[in-house]
Amino acid sequence: MNVLLSIRPEFAEKIFSGEKRYEFRKRKPKATVGRVFVYECSPSKKIVGWFSVRKIHSGSPHEIWERCKDSGGIREEKYLSYCHGKKMIHAFEIDEVFRFDPPMDPFDAFSDFKPPQDFVYFSGDMA
């Protein structure tokens, strides 16, 4: 199953440069994730590429930070702020990456496109 994630431009850039090898999430998809399509939030508002997921690691914020901190592409204080109040955090371990050139404008491609608040399942037809 493919998913579409909303990701801030600074983190999307780190994913495609290889600096960020884990994407942190508060929720874990129920289905096995194949590709994660990256919707880059404002100002670009484009689908800029995809990455495949090697594994999803789950644990307490502290456990996930200790496992992923060197390749998480985020400062600890920002990570802890994101995790505030959560007992479980999920780290998508990024494997293969592919950047679209040019990025796709989802508002042109899909008449009813709404940026995901967290993630949405993305059908094979759309991918």
The predicted model scores a pTM of 0.90
Model pLDDT, residue 111: 80
Model pLDDT, residue 113: 86
Q: What residues of the chain score a pLDDT lower than 70? A: 123-127
**CATH code reported for the domain at 2-122:** 2.30.130.30
Name the DSSP class of 116: -
| The total number of residues written for the chain in this structure | 127
Residue 50 phi, psi dihedral angles, 5° rounding: -150, 165
Exposure string for 103-127, b = 16+ CB within 10 A, e = fewer:
beebeeeeeebeeeeebbebeeeee
For strands 46-59 and 2-7, give the pairing: unpaired
